[in-house]
Amino acid sequence: MSMPEWIPLFPLNTVLFPRGVLPLRVFETRYVDMVRGCMKSGEPFGVVAIRAGNEVGNAAEPYDVGTLAHIIGCDVEDLGVMLLHTQGGERFRILEKRTQRNQLIEARIATLPVDDPGDTGESLSVCAKVLQVVIDELHRRAGEIPDADFINPFTEPHALDSPTWVANRWSEMLPIALEHKQELLELTDAGVRLQRVERYLQENGVL
């Protein structure tokens, strides 16, 4: 499916990575309408981290690089609140943007190429081993809560042999500032991203 010339953007105080899972509670009219339009057309919307401004109210100023969000599932609460289950697709760069009267931002984008695998050294085996422990513990805890309340943050099939997949999953979980997560997203070398993740894990006492 070819991308439309303009796609709607959803500026958030989070960074979505490719193959990442992002649950969203949508209640503003502009975004409810946006979601309905995307579900009708089967097209994704763009998730972009906020550089300046807020998630609600007037349009925020987004970073230039974001990730396409594909809607996997949707439930509707009372008063028209939508509970979305989305998954990250390709990264993109904003070429041009415009703001509609309702403060919904639309953009012309260019999708970015897949990461260069780079040279991971020992970082891949070290980070993947600890990530497997996290995944196993998550599944153990998931067995203790109702299925309806569990959202698995790790898309399957797992790709523990992929520096991009491992680095992206850690990038989502790391307790670091939004701008640092954005820097990780924008890196084009998976090996560099993974080595930076390893350094963060060491600094936080995980490794």
Domain of residue 164, CATH code = 1.10.4060.10
User: What average pLDDT does the chain have?
Assistant: 91
- List the domain range (segments joined by +) for residue 57: 7-111
Classify the C-alpha dihedral 92-181-53-42 as positive or negative.
positive
List % helix, strand, coil for the chain (3-state, nearest 5).
35, 30, 35
Residue 77 and residue 154 in one domain = no
Q: End of a domain among 56, 90, 111?
A: 111
Q: Which element (helix H / strand E) includes 190?
A: helix 190-203
pTM of the model: 0.91
Decide: 197 and 185 in contact? Cβ < 8 Å: no
Q: How many domains are contained in the chain?
A: 2
Residue 95 and residue 11 in one domain = yes
Domain-located, residue 132: yes
Helix 163-173 to helix 190-203 angle, to the nearest 10 degrees?
40
Please count the other Cβ atoms lying within 10 Å of the Cβ belonging to residue 72.
13
Please count the other Cβ atoms lying within 10 Å of the Cβ belonging to residue 110.
9
Residue 42 pLDDT > 70: yes
Residue 23 pLDDT > 70: yes
Domain-located, residue 2: no
Domain-located, residue 1: no
Domain-located, residue 170: yes
